Structure 1
């Protein structure tokens, strides 16, 4: 089965030279050496596939984003928006780092990025499909199948992490057809080193988000620290900078139009092998519903923030995340309509089904699997609104804290191997860190308003979708009753205090269930319903895993028969993508160039957020003070550039590398026309947006100086 996937990648390699499609696992790179070389790669492909070599050994995950080591002393380059939570955590109305930026002139001035900030350094990937599936029989289905897979994964992770200091994860590929174990060094002391002012790091804000042309300095720097013995340790004053085995070299000359570029990173999730019915559900219901809901939630936060800058700061990270998702979903719907993606998905799926029908009895398992997947999707769709509302409010503020505290006490009564993921011993530091930083990201009045909004939507659900436990806690469905219930709950809890939360985290189940704290009572009352829904989700996941590999194998076999390449959907694991610097034409008579320059900042600037560049930056641009960082071809300093690479969320912060594996920028966005590529890739319009290394250096030299870091990275003054 694994040979099939790799052989197919090789078979389709010839067509890949003309398009940037593909998020390739490192093991596949030798199989696509031809397209890589044709595009312009100068490195040996086997060197590129070496996880601990140069340059892949310098690429790290920072949890939800990607980054790269850029010095021998653990300096890490990533996006400003990836560091936004750490910047927000260290900001107050009196010391507003979000607005003013931050630069640590010495190691002693570097700030903790928070108790849950992490740098994960990959050192091994191995196939564990046989071990995961060892106790999964063909007849085993539903929740039992899911539990067998979970148990095998936990055993593999426990064995992998036995020596300490590492984080191990088992990833599923092709719907459960293949499993790989990733082992990463887990660095737990991460500090904020440099972030430009928000008027550079977030220039254009939500207006420019997903758009081209862009002029955003979306970059920041962390540093990884370890204990004096060189081993990972929690934050401590006597910790020392981590010494990575590899770090990226800076190619200060940057790229030109047509140049080869590649990205290694940790893309989140794509759905290119999803069923047409799953796609249509999102287009027709899920995306529009989420867009409307997020708009309402954002309005609640915005109204509170207008009255209180401290509230703005506390919710800045969540606000940015919700805005990003809402605009992304809106762009996806526009993209789907533009390319008639629904018809395309249906046609592709029907082509596979028609091909299977020509293959006689051998195709029966795949056709049966397709029918089973349709039934599973129908079940999920029936409770989609309820599940979305519950998932949203269950992860908000005080209820989230109460839920985690109670669930942790329940799980601690079990052997570690039998605990739910997220509550094992390996998760306790992260759980405590989450509870510690809640007050910096939470306001009781805003939390109450958000929860009230979601509960008022919940009570509109059909009776068969309601939860008896939640209905009993509410005591009624009218707005006045909900408001009164919440007023009582917020007045009757001490979980808004960090010390109290940490005390309850150490308490046993009996003490928590006997507590008179209103939010702990709420969590205790709702836990049976949440566990019931979790078990139902496990059953459907097990059934999905039972059938999806059979249908996806048919998709692979069909694609092989017509000479198309296959790569796994993104799933948060390490991938490599490559392409070239190029613009695009989104519609008739519109042609976008691949670079923007400093002049575009002047043209956009209004002096009003989000187009309010620092005054000294504007003065430098007007004076033509480029500091030797200008491109001769452009006559100015490049700010952002486009490539035709294939990325998605999670790739943010990924180092952009030239043909020699040197740093020439950072991925930070995609263009508006490509956000639909999570489902359907369009090579003519899909483009990735990068911040140019020349702009990063110019800002750090001229606008918001960081001389210590430039020296540390080995950057010489431009001539």
Structure 2
């Protein structure tokens, strides 16, 4: 069903000075609009509240959010955020997706391969330093000059810290309007404590995904360790079994992944017509190939479970984004907003002289981006992304090559700090299923040939005289990169080891590297650098016209949104804000994907059917917020965000407070399930401890 959004006549005030909807905004913790919130709700958190929530919020390396909920490193997040770990820990003999996982003692808590957790400890402004480094630099060299300045700032900010415990990252806000140094406390030993069965963690499957009402226990618990022991976390969010009621103020503290609300209208149209279209085509074919593979056997279905979930979820999210951008009424929100800013710039001679016409500059650069798009997509940005082993080969080759260069000559994203992170990711010891890897590598190679054509010089160099199917079969069968020790040896051996390697995936990555690097450099010099300069001028205009009462686009960094518990009315139908546990059993038909978990059926008579299960709120969230704590005004955790409704899928580009809703599982339901279904007495006692 098409999204019915604001009419053009009323949209001009949208995201300009004060938001059209009071609950809109993913605010940074150093610029939370307390006065604006207090004017709307008569309440706003003080600095002590903000500090405590910031220090309790957790970002997970799997692209999710979370929070500390005890003083011994216990972390609340979603089932789907721990599902990769659950898959990695499972085997043909023990499938934790099917049975669920509960550590009855500390000894039983199992390390999640490659997962890290981090907490934002400080924010420092570095705007002046970054802009000084790019001032007067010609457009083709801006991206490189900025990358060097950022790498130096990150190194300086963390120079006195233990690199095993702290990490510094420069964040670009307002499309280049601001740059901030975020310092993180990192935890590299993260262990699984609890995950429910998929039948209740993802009850309703794809049909219910991004919909409401929902009946999901989409929650999971992890624990951060250091030196083999649980970390001490005296700052955490207190647990409560109280559920907020309609109209109650609630907050979401998490890491929204990426929004494009500050892009120009023509940039959004480009996103609709090129990246989104391309990604959806790849995902749909990948999904089809995985379905065919999963039907081979019970073990095939189990081994592909995690990647299949990610593909299905990604497809639905991106489809929702494309559908929003294809709806003229949706763009009717953005067009008046942009026109208003342009008009105010034209009316200010001084401002017009300072910024010129960055919108026209971006339009010219979009034509160049379109020319380069397919080469960049298939030779560089999407290179082997449908597998996990081939990207390892790419990273190993590029680490060796870029590490041999001085900082000023490296590609962006390959500073010393960046390369440490890449190495850590490469050394994560997760299981690899070669049949699934072959499917993914074959897909990328075949689509690269299809879109660039067999006559493209880069495709000729990549494939030689072989077929995509032949290269994928030979490469995956012959590679040793699934062995952590082999990867570690290649990292330690540096460029000499990479150049001498006969591993077929390393050979393929070496063959692809020159063309991939060349298109990366060309895109940065001819598109990304110049567009970023134009975006900085638009940001300057926005600050000059509207002041600081505008939130930055999401960047998978910590944000705080506020809202209230509320349902919505659409097409004359009122959707209530809350479901209850009893509804789970009523919705269970016994047919996939509405099959109730056996453990829940066994405990049905002991469960309180009236306890709120899932809850809808007006908080402004996007992908990356999964696992974020839902927090009441007292600073207590009352739920875990796990989804948005179908209307929220356009939230990447705009927020409509009439319809956009956040969906969370309540702490009341989690406690009831832990106590009566799973008999997790140790975990419940820890959560209730004061």
Q: Scaled by the length of structure 1, what TM-score is found?
A: 0.87
Instruction: State the partner residue of 1:692.
Output: 666
Distance 1:285 1:537 in 2: 15
Deviations 1:294-333 (A, max 9, x none): 0110111221122244443443332222211110122223
Does the Cα contact within 8 Å between 1:311 and 1:443 map onto a contact in 2?
A: no
CA distance in 2, matches of 1:316, 1:583: 32
Query: 1:221-260 to 2 correspondence within 5 Å?
Result: 221-227=221-227, 239-260=228-249
1:552 aligned partner: 539
1:512 aligns with 2:481: no
* Alpha-carbon distance between aligned partners in 1 of 2:134 and 2:428, rounded to the nearest angstrom: 41
Report the equivalent of 1:130: 128
Find the residue that maps to 2:357 and give its secondary structure: helix
Ranges of 4+ aligned residues in structure 1 off by more than 6 Å:
8-11
Q: 1:382-401 residue pairs with structure 2 within 5 A?
A: 382-390=371-379, 391-395=381-385, 396-401=387-392
- Structure 2 CA distance for partners of 1:481 and 1:185, relative to 1, 3 Å: closer
Distance (Å, rounded) in 2 between the aligned partners of 1:691 and 1:515: 49
CA distance in structure 2 between the aligned counterparts of 1:226 and 1:439, rounded to whole angstroms: 20
Q: 1:468-506 CA deviation, whole Å, 9 max, x = no partner?
A: 243123135xxx833334444445433344433333232
Q: What is the CA-CA distance between 1:420 and the residue it aligns to?
A: 4.9
Matched, 1:152 2:154: no
In 2, the alpha carbon distance for the partners of 1:639 and 1:120 equals 29
Q: Secondary structure of the equivalent of 1:508? A: helix
Report Cα offsets for 1:365-398 as digits up to 9, x if no partner: 4342221111222222223233333333333233
CA distance in 2, matches of 1:180, 1:87: 35
Map residues 47-66 of structure 1 onto 2, 5 A cutoff: 47-50=48-51, 54-63=52-61, 64-66=63-65
Q: 2:583 aligns with which of 589, 594, 600?
A: 600
Residue number in structure 2 paired with 1:84: 83
Change over 3 Å in CA distance of 1:597–1:715 after alignment to 2: farther
Mapped partners of 2:334, 2:444: distance in 1: 33
Instruction: Tell me if the contact between 2:427 and 2:484 (Cα under 8 Å) persists in the aligned partners.
Output: yes
1:523-542 maps to which residues of 2 (within 5 A)? 523-539=509-525, 540-542=527-529
C-alpha distance in structure 2 between counterparts of 1:594 and 1:400, whole Å: 43
Q: Take 1:380 and 1:11, find their aligned partners in 2: how far apart are those partners?
A: 28
1:630-709 equivalent positions in 2, closer than 5 A: 636-709=610-683
Deviates more, 1:590-599 or 1:281-290: 281-290
Q: Work out whether 1:370 is the aligned partner of 2:353.
A: no
**Alpha-carbon contact 1:39-1:580 (below 8 Å) kept:** no
SS of corresponding position for 1:216: coil
Task: Give the CA deviation at 1:432.
Answer: 4.5
TM-score, scaled to structure 2 = 0.91
In angstroms, what is the RMSD of aligned CA positions?
2.7
Distance 1:659 1:490 in 2: 53
Q: Which runs of 5+ in 2 are unaligned?
A: 1-12
> Aligned residue for 2:6?
none
Deviation at 1:215, TM superposition (A): 0.7
Report which stretch shifted further, 661-670 or 127-136: 127-136
**Counterparts of 1:639 and 1:314 in 2: how far apart (Å)?**
30
Judged with a 3 Å threshold, the aligned counterparts in structure 2 of structure 1 residues 360 and 412 are, in CA distance, closer, same or farther, namely: closer
Aligned pair in 2 of structure 1 residues 461, 292: CA closer, same or farther (>3 Å)? Answer: closer
CA distance in 2, matches of 1:439, 1:309: 21
Structure 1 CA distance, aligned partners of 2:326 and 2:459? 39
Relative distance call for 1:337 and 1:538 in structure 2 (3 A) is closer
1:183-262 alignment runs, 5 A limit? 183-227=183-227, 239-262=228-251
Gaps of 5+ in 1: 1-7, 228-238, 631-635
Distance 1:83 1:168, change over 3 A: same
Give the count of matched residue pairs: 671
Query: Please, which moves more after superposition, 692-701 or 355-364?
Result: 355-364
Q: In 1, are the aligned partners of 2:151 and 2:415 still within 8 Å (CA)?
A: no
Judged with a 3 Å threshold, the aligned counterparts in structure 2 of structure 1 residues 40 and 338 are, in CA distance, closer, same or farther, namely farther
User: What SS is found at the alignment partner of 1:60?
Assistant: strand
- Judge conservation of contact 2:26–2:561 (CA < 8 Å) in 1: yes
